[in-house]
Amino acid sequence: MRNLDCDNFLGMTSTPSSQARLPYHLPVMAEQVKAYLRPALGMLLLDGTAGGGGHTNLMLEAGAEVISLDQDPEALAECQKRLAHFGTKSRLVESNFSKAPAALDSLGEDRLLNGALLDIGVSSHQLDAAERGFSLMQNGPLDMRMSPRAALTAADAVNTLPVSELTRIFKEYGEEPFARQIAAKIGEIRESKPFQTTFDLTEAVTMVSPRRGPRHPATKIFQALRIHVNDELHALREALLEIPPLLAPGARLAILTFHSLEDRIAKVYFREQSREWIDRPEWTAPRRNPSRIFKLLTTHPITASEAEINQNPRARSAKLRVVEKI
């Protein structure tokens, strides 16, 4: 199975002059998200990953109130500047979307939400800033934390985890065919010199898996470490437990994913929670699904247009799925 974000995120880079022209973050499928969430005056919406405020801005322009979460203080500072003119209609909280109930409590907000967006991708700024350690094409500290307050860095992981655990991470989160060999090489190198930079890691990977095509051989390794460091899959699963009770009847939940592991979680959850009937071989007849809380609005994922992909190649791997609370 293909990890959809590999080609479009970690291996991309920009020249300093091009970075100067780029916005902090380009929101993906912004118009599609707006069309499905239908922001309007009187609605209270949640943007689970504020990023550069692009999705939030569209919701606010349509008249909705928006609570925007992000675990990255740099992203929130950017949103504060961009969205200040909306006044109290825009509220920002430093939080992971998996902690949405606590975030709303911190604001004293007890209304049910009329819609929510979870954008699971890494922001353009995080990828382009060498000092964040996400990009394998720029040398920087081996960090990869979305929140600077998190304890574990990618350097901590590669320098301290057992080789067997690194192998599991590379296989499970990166679906890397050379996971065992790369983990063993990391274990060998760190005995004499700890890993400190992104190029330290890419060099180790290429010793085992030389570059043979357009994609860098360390791409899946960087993806796997990023997922592990930020506990991304657990955060998504936790959000899918915590956010639905916050939604009013008729509210829509949209999830925007960028690789197959996250998309599979969203797809399975939406399918199980929207299926009207369930059947089992031992039953004499199908029964109504007691877990049904949603109506499925996207039987197949929505993808970005070719025009958007040409403008923002990172949109190529994006998939949007949407359900409505019943």
The tens place of each residue's pLDDT in the chain, 326 residues long, gives 334 444 444 444 343 333 444 567 789 999 999 999 999 999 999 999 999 899 999 999 999 999 999 999 999 999 999 999 999 999 999 999 999 999 999 999 999 999 999 999 787 778 778 889 898 888 999 999 999 999 999 999 999 999 999 999 999 999 999 999 999 999 999 999 999 999 999 999 999 988 777 889 999 999 999 999 999 999 999 999 999 999 999 999 999 999 999 999 999 999 999 999 999 999 999 999 999 999 999 999 999 999 999 999 889 999 999 999 99
Residue 189 CB partners (closer than 8 Å, separation 6+): 195, 204
C-alpha–C-alpha distance, residues 12 and 278, integer Å = 44
Burial track 69-91 (b if 16+ CB lie within 10 A, e otherwise): bbbbebbbebbeebbeebeeebb
Domain CATH for 76:
3.40.50.150
Reduced to 3 states, what is the DSSP secondary structure of residue 325?
Answer: strand
Q: What is the DSSP letter of 122?
A: P
Position 65 in a domain = yes
Boundaries of domain holding 71: 16-124+233-325
Tally of domains in the chain: 1
- Give pLDDT, residue 20: 42
Position 185 in a domain = no
Provide the residue type at 77 as one letter. A
- Give pLDDT, residue 211: 78
Phi/psi for 137 (5° steps) reads -95, -5
- Give pLDDT, residue 7: 42
Position 36 in a domain = yes
Position 219 in a domain = no
Position 187 in a domain = no
Q: Which two tokens stand for residue 204?
A: 């180790």
Residue 91: strand pairing partners: 67
Question: pLDDT of 297-324, one tens digit each?
Answer: 999 999 999 999 999 988 999 999 999 9
Q: Which of 141, 135, 176, 142 is nearest to 314 (CA)?
A: 135
Q: What is the DSSP letter of 112?
A: P
Position 110 in a domain = yes
Q: Locate tokens 């081996």: which residue?
A: 142
- Give pLDDT, residue 125: 76
- Give pLDDT, residue 129: 83
Provide the residue type at 10 as one letter. L
The distance of Cα 264 from the centroid of its chain, to the nearest Å, equals: 13
Position 313 in a domain = yes
Q: Which two tokens stand for residue 63?
A: 């008249």
Position 240 in a domain = yes
- Give pLDDT, residue 22: 54
C-alpha–C-alpha distance, residues 262 and 236, integer Å = 8
Which H or E run includes 205? helix 198-208
Residues in the chain: 326
C-alpha–C-alpha distance, residues 78 and 118, integer Å = 19
Across the chain, which distance is largest between two alpha carbons, in Å?
67
C-alpha–C-alpha distance, residues 319 and 115, integer Å = 18
C-alpha–C-alpha distance, residues 267 and 152, integer Å = 29
C-alpha–C-alpha distance, residues 265 and 303, integer Å = 17
Residue 174 CB partners (closer than 8 Å, separation 6+): 3, 220, 221, 223, 224, 227
